[in-house]
Amino acid sequence: MWVVFNQNRYNSMVMNIGICNNCGTLIDNATCPSCGVLNRRYVIDINDDNVKWAVRYGYQYRKQSVLHAKDKGTSLHYCLHSASEVLLWIGGAVLSGITWDLLKLGVKKLLAVIKSEGRYESLDKETKEVISDEDKLYEFYEYVEEYQQGFVNISEEEYKYIESEMRADFESEEIAKLGPEKYFRLSRKEMVEVHKMAYEKSEIKIKRIVKRKSMTEPK
């Protein structure tokens, strides 16, 4: 499995770097220079919606949902920053089916490259934690995999928190399509209808993305 960015679309810190599916070496073409294996190529588009959703909702908001569940006295929700290209690349690798052991090897070598190029300090705190701490990387790997499986191994309370963030984002996206000028010219009745439609579309989108089974459904 060769996981690689779409080089033509992104000037990325890790563009054109893949992970050999046999030995975990970072590669820039299909044939691994270390073991000679010919890798099947997967181009990871970091602008792919599912990659973004997997990292944003499967990892970033998943972490917030755990904190929220522990702190019963707050209803505070956070608008989180967009994930870095490095995290999107790792998330895309996980979604492609790479094994934990190979991902671990690949990210370790990627970290060495980033440090050797003097780019480590420019990374945000979240990205540094994931690529520098094996426990954090495994948490990332596990959370993205569980997102892909319909948020398995997550409590209903935690899922509802994530779902509410997805709904807020998707509703905002729908409403933003009108543009501020047109939106603020709407009558009160028209605004209610716009928000109703945005809510309905967000619900359809969430169900299509998540495919989560009810906690009471047989597995």
Helices (H) and strands (E) in the chain, counts: 9, 4
Q: Are residues 40 and 11 in the same domain?
A: yes
> Of the residues 105, 131, 148, which one is the last residue of a structural domain?
148
> Of the residues 96, 125, 148, which one is the last residue of a structural domain?
148
* Of 96, 211, 218, nearest in space to 145 by CA: 96
Q: Are residues 123 and 30 in the same domain?
A: yes
pLDDT (tens, 9 = 90+) of the chain, 219 residues, equals: 444 444 343 345 555 677 887 888 887 777 888 888 887 654 567 788 999 999 999 999 999 998 888 876 555 556 788 999 999 989 988 998 889 999 999 899 889 989 999 999 999 999 999 999 999 999 999 999 999 999 988 999 999 999 999 999 999 999 999 999 999 999 999 999 999 999 999 999 999 999 887 544 444
User: Which pTM value belongs to this model?
Assistant: 0.83
> Of the residues 148, 170, 185, which one is the last residue of a structural domain?
148
Q: Is residue 217 included in any domain, yes or no?
A: no
Question: In angstroms, how far is the first alpha carbon of the chain from the final one?
Answer: 30
Q: Are residues 120 and 204 in the same domain?
A: no
| Host domain of residue 122 | 2-148
